[in-house]
Amino acid sequence: MEITVNQQSYSVTEHCSLQQLLSVVIQQPIKGIAIAVNEIIIPKTNWETYLLKVGDQIILIKATQGG
């Protein structure tokens, strides 16, 4: 199924969780990021059980340090 992550299309399996998306598909470390699916922030405690749906729009927000 097709989803969009930060305006880039990805093809994932039908039963793909947010945790799987990060570790397998995008290979993004989970430290210091937040995830919004269809403009709703998903708590980190739910990433492992939150299953993606066809057409989901995902935004990865990475914390940065600055001054």
| pLDDT value, residue 26 | 77
Domain assignment present for 14: yes
Domain assignment present for 7: yes
Give every strand in the sheet of 40-42, ordered side by side: 8-11, 2-5, 57-62, 33-37, 40-42
Q: What is the pTM of this model?
A: 0.85
Digitized pLDDT (tens) for each residue of the chain, 67 residues in all = 999 999 999 999 899 999 999 887 777 677 888 999 999 999 999 999 999 999 999 999 887 777 5
Quote the DSSP letter at residue 19. H
Domain residues for 17?
2-62
Domain assignment present for 67: no
CATH number at residue 48: 3.10.20.30
Domain assignment present for 43: yes
Q: How many domains does the chain have?
A: 1
